[in-house]
C-alpha cells in the first residue's frame, strides 16, 4: 500500500479493513471445515473421516 | 478479492497435498490401522449389547476397500483445504509471501498442530485405552492454540517478551494431558499386546513423517501461490482509477 502518496491515504484505510475482514472470513471457513472433519461428534462424520482423524492424531474414539 | 483468491489457492494446494498425503497414508499408515482393527474385532463381543440394539448402535460406515479409501481421500482433501486456508490467512496478513515464507509457516504449523499435542497425546491406533474424549479434545485445542500463539510471540514480539512465548508453549505440558487410568491396550492376550505396542510405535513414526510431508506441501504450495496470485495482483484502489 502506498502510504507516501497523499491521494491514496484516504483509500488505504478501507482497503486494509476489507482485507482483514476477508482474511477473517477465510479463516472462519477454515475453522468450520476443520471442525467438521476433525471434531464433529456425529458417528457419520467420525466413520467417514476415521482414518484421517487417526493419521493426523486428532483425539478420536 | 482476497477471499476468492485464498479459496482458490487453498483448493489447488489441498488437491496436491491430499494426493501426496493420501498416497503415503495408503502405503505406510493405513496398513497399521487395519492391522490394529483386526485385533479390535478379535476381542469377544458383548452379546447382550448386540442382541438389544444392533440396529440402533451400529451407524453407517463406509465399506472397507475402495469406498473407505475414497472417503478418506475426501476427508484428507477437506482437512488440507482448511489447513491451507488458515495458513494462507496468516501468511497474507503478515505481508508479502514467498515459497520460503510459506514453508516456514508450514513447519511452525507442524510443530504446533502435530508435535506439541503429540507430546502429551501421542497418535493412537484403534483399540487403545484413552481418557475421556471431550477432555482430550479440550487439551488438544488448548495446546494447539497456546503453542501457535507462543510461536508467534517468539517470532514477532520484541526481545523482552520472547520469554512469554516460551512460557505459553510450556503451559499445556505443565497442566498435563488427560491420561486414562490404564494406558495401553486392554487386550487379554499378552502376545497381542506386544504386537499392538510394536504397531503403535511404527504408527507414531509413520504419522510423524506423513504429517511433516503434509505440512511441507501445504506450506510451500500456499506460500508460492499466494506470492503468485495475491502479491502480484494489486488490490483494486479507487485512487488509481481516478488517476487514469
Please indicate if any CB of chain B lies within 8 Å of the CB of A27: yes
Instruction: Let me know if residue B219 belongs to a domain.
Output: yes
Residues of A in contact with B29 (CB under 8 A): 51, 55
* Nearest Cβ partner for A52 among B79, B86, B121: B79
Please indicate if any CB of chain B lies within 8 Å of the CB of A13: no
| pLDDT (0 to 100) of residue B189 | 84
* Nearest Cβ partner for B85 among A20, A29, A55: A29
* Cα B25 off chain centre by: 13
Domain count, chain B: 1
Please indicate if any CB of chain B lies within 8 Å of the CB of A54: yes
Cβ contact B86–A34 (<8 Å): yes
| pLDDT (0 to 100) of residue B244 | 46
Residues of A in contact with B207 (CB under 8 A): 54-57
Cβ contact B82–A34 (<8 Å): yes
What whole-number distance in Å separates Cα of residue A53 and Cα of residue B87? 19
**Average pLDDT for runs of 10 along chain B of length 244:** 94 98 96 90 53 59 92 97 98 95 98 96 89 93 97 94 95 93 78 91 96 98 96 67 48
Rg of chain A (C-alpha set): 20
What whole-number distance in Å separates Cα of residue B140 and Cα of residue A58? 8
The residue whose grid cell reads 490401522 is B33
Cβ contact A27–B83 (<8 Å): no
Residues 6+ apart with CB under 8 A from A23: B2, B3, B6, B89, B92, B93
Q: What is the mean pLDDT of residues A17-36?
A: 94
Of all residues in chain A, the percent with pLDDT exceeding 70 is: 79
Give the residue from B146, B143, B72 showing the smallest Cα distance to A59: B143
Residues of B in contact with A17 (CB under 8 A): none
Rg of chain B (C-alpha set): 22
Q: Could you count the other beta carbons within 10 Å of the beta carbon of residue B30?
A: 19
Q: How far apart are the first and last CA of chain A?
A: 49
Give the CA distances from residue B94 to residues A23, B88, B151, B231, in Å, rounded to whole numbers and listed in that order: 11, 10, 14, 12
Q: List pLDDT tens digits, range B47-67.
A: 544 444 444 567 889 999 899
Closest CA of chain B from A3, distance in Å: 12
Instruction: Let me know if residue B99 belongs to a domain.
Output: yes
Instruction: Let me know if residue B227 belongs to a domain.
Output: yes
Closest CA of chain B from A41, distance in Å: 10
Residue A53 C-alpha cell reads as 482423524
| pLDDT (0 to 100) of residue B104 | 97
User: Which residues share a beta bridge with B129?
Assistant: B184
What whole-number distance in Å separates Cα of residue B10 and Cα of residue A52? 19
* Nearest Cβ partner for B79 among A10, A23, A34: A34
What whole-number distance in Å separates Cα of residue B219 and Cα of residue B17? 10
Instruction: Let me know if residue B124 belongs to a domain.
Output: yes
Instruction: Let me know if residue B209 belongs to a domain.
Output: yes
Residues of B in contact with A28 (CB under 8 A): none
B219: domain range? 2-40+63-130+180-235
Using CB atoms within 10 A of its CB, is residue B241 exposed (0-12), middle (13-18) or buried (19+)? exposed
Cβ contact B125–A54 (<8 Å): yes
Instruction: Let me know if residue B47 belongs to a domain.
Output: no
Instruction: Let me know if residue B115 belongs to a domain.
Output: yes
Q: Which residue has the higher pLDDT, B87 or A4?
A: B87
Is there a contact between B11 and A33 (Cβ–Cβ < 8 Å)?
Answer: no
Instruction: Let me know if residue B12 belongs to a domain.
Output: yes
Amino acid at each position: 500500500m502506498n502510504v507516501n502518496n497523499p491521494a491514496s491515504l484516504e483509500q488505504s484505510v478501507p482497503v486494509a479493513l476489507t482485507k482483514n475482514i476477508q482474511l477473517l472470513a477465510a479463516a472462519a471457513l477454515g475453522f468450520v471445515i476443520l471442525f467438521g472433519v476433525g471434531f464433529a461428534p456425529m458417528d457419520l462424520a467420525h466413520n467417514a473421516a476415521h482414518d484421517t482423524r487417526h493419521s493426523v492424531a486428532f483425539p478420536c474414539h | 478479492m482476497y477471499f476468492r483468491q485464498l479459496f482458490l489457492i487453498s483448493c489447488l494446494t489441498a488437491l496436491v497435498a491430499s494426493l501426496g498425503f493420501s498416497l503415503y497414508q495408503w502405503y505406510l499408515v493405513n496398513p497399521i490401522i487395519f492391522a490394529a482393527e483386526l485385533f479390535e474385532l478379535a476381542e469377544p463381543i458383548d452379546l447382550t449389547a448386540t442382541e438389544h440394539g444392533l440396529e440402533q448402535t451400529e451407524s453407517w460406515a463406509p465399506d472397507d476397500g475402495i469406498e473407505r479409501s475414497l472417503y478418506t481421500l475426501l476427508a484428507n482433501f477437506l482437512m488440507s483445504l482448511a489447513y491451507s486456508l488458515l495458513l494462507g490467512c496468516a501468511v497474507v496478513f503478515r505481508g508479502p509471501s514467498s515459497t520460503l515464507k510459506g514453508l516456514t509457516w508450514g513447519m511452525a504449523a507442524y510443530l504446533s498442530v502435530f508435535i506439541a499435542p503429540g507430546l502429551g497425546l501421542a497418535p493412537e491406533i484403534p483399540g487403545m485405552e484413552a481418557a475421556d474424549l471431550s477432555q482430550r479434545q479440550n487439551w488438544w485445542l488448548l495446546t494447539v492454540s497456546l503453542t501457535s500463539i507462543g510461536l508467534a510471540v517468539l517470532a514477532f514480539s520484541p526481545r523482552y517478551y520472547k520469554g512469554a512465548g516460551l512460557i505459553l508453549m510450556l503451559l499445556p505440558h505443565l497442566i498435563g494431558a488427560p491420561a486414562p487410568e490404564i494406558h495401553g491396550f486392554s487386550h487379554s492376550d499378552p502376545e497381542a499386546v506386544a504386537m499392538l505396542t510394536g504397531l503403535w510405535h511404527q504408527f507414531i513414526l509413520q504419522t510423524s513423517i506423513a504429517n511433516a510431508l503434509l505440512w511441507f506441501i501445504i506450506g510451500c504450495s500456499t506460500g508460492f501461490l499466494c506470492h503468485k496470485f495475491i502479491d502480484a495482483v494489486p488490490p483494486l484502489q479507487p485512487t488509481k482509477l481516478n488517476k487514469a
